[in-house]
Amino acid sequence: MTLSLRELPRFERPRERLKHLGAQALSATELLAIVFGSGGRGRSALGMAQDVLAGSGGSLRRIAAQPVASLTTHAGIGSARAVALHAALELGRRMAVELRDEGAPVRSPADVHAVFAPRLEDLPVEEFHVAVLDAQHRLERDVTVTRGILNSSLVHPREVFREAIAERAAAIILVHNHPSGDPTPSGDDRLVTEQLVAAGRLLDIPVHDHVIIGRGRYTSFAQAGLL
């Protein structure tokens, strides 16, 4: 028999533990149980949290990558709970993005990865971004150019450089993700980069790098000598 949260001793309940010990003291299962709020279909909130975690191999990233409908296959997880879980994980991702100081220069591929990985590395589709830099290498704007499969016909220099020209950019950095998790450049990646580097030379807006975001790793065209 699975105990409900109300049947647990008061100071063993996740909410009480969070209030007295802080969120960092709780396990992922307990935090998920708080997001779910209550049990359902004969399962406690803790039991449902254990099911969801087990179904993703214990990975919060894999949970975030699952569509809402997929999460509702777990007993007791309806649309409302699945949506609340996605919202909580997205808040965590956005907080990770905010950890970088505003106005800090972007001077290396590692800096680019720190800025863009939290929002791109777990996406189920490719997104192509342009980081518009000022003269001090600070990120002036982040422009999303395309969402979907990356190829040379979709990434047109006009769309890439429009915002850079408007912002009087000193330079740009190209950034996109590989949903497979492998950041190895494809043939289309190389072709797109060649076209945009050439356009940047004509417009006097240099392309400093093209960084491909994988899962926990990245490839820099500049570091690899591919620019």
CA-to-CA distance for 49 and 22, rounded, in angstroms? 19
For residues 192 and 159, state if they share a domain.
yes
**207-213 and 171-177: which strand pairing?**
parallel
Confidence of residue 183 (pLDDT cuts 50, 70, 90): very high
What's the confidence (pLDDT) of residue 223?
95
Q: How many domains does the chain have?
A: 2
Answer yes or no: is pLDDT of 4 > 80.
no
For residues 31 and 113, state if they share a domain.
no
* pTM for the predicted model, two decimal places: 0.66
What's the confidence (pLDDT) of residue 1?
46
Express each pLDDT in 135-144 by its tens digit.
999 988 888 8
Express each pLDDT in 87-132 by its tens digit.
998 888 777 766 555 667 888 999 999 889 988 888 888 999 999 9
Give 130's strand partners.
143, 174
What whole-number percentage of the chain has pLDDT above 90? 41
| 115, part of any domain | yes
| 103, part of any domain | no
For residues 149 and 205, state if they share a domain.
yes
For residues 74 and 54, state if they share a domain.
yes
> Locate tokens 């949506």: which residue?
83
At 198, which CATH number? 3.40.140.10
For residues 14 and 85, state if they share a domain.
yes
| 147, part of any domain | yes
Answer yes or no: is pLDDT of 218 > 90.
yes
| Final residue before a domain boundary, out of 98, 125, 147 | 98
Boundaries of domain holding 85: 5-98
For residues 60 and 125, state if they share a domain.
no
| Final residue before a domain boundary, out of 69, 98, 127 | 98
What's the confidence (pLDDT) of residue 152?
47
What whole-number percentage of the chain has pLDDT above 70? 89
| 226, part of any domain | no
The mean of the pLDDT values for the chain is 86
For residues 115 and 215, state if they share a domain.
yes
For residues 75 and 11, state if they share a domain.
yes
CA-to-CA distance for 62 and 185, rounded, in angstroms? 24
What's the confidence (pLDDT) of residue 105?
86
Cβ(163)–Cβ(130) below 8 Å: yes
In the DSSP assignment, the letter for residue 198 is H
| 39, part of any domain | yes
Count helices and strands (H / E) in the chain: 9, 5
CA 209 to chain centroid: 20
What's the confidence (pLDDT) of residue 176?
94
| Final residue before a domain boundary, out of 98, 130, 165 | 98
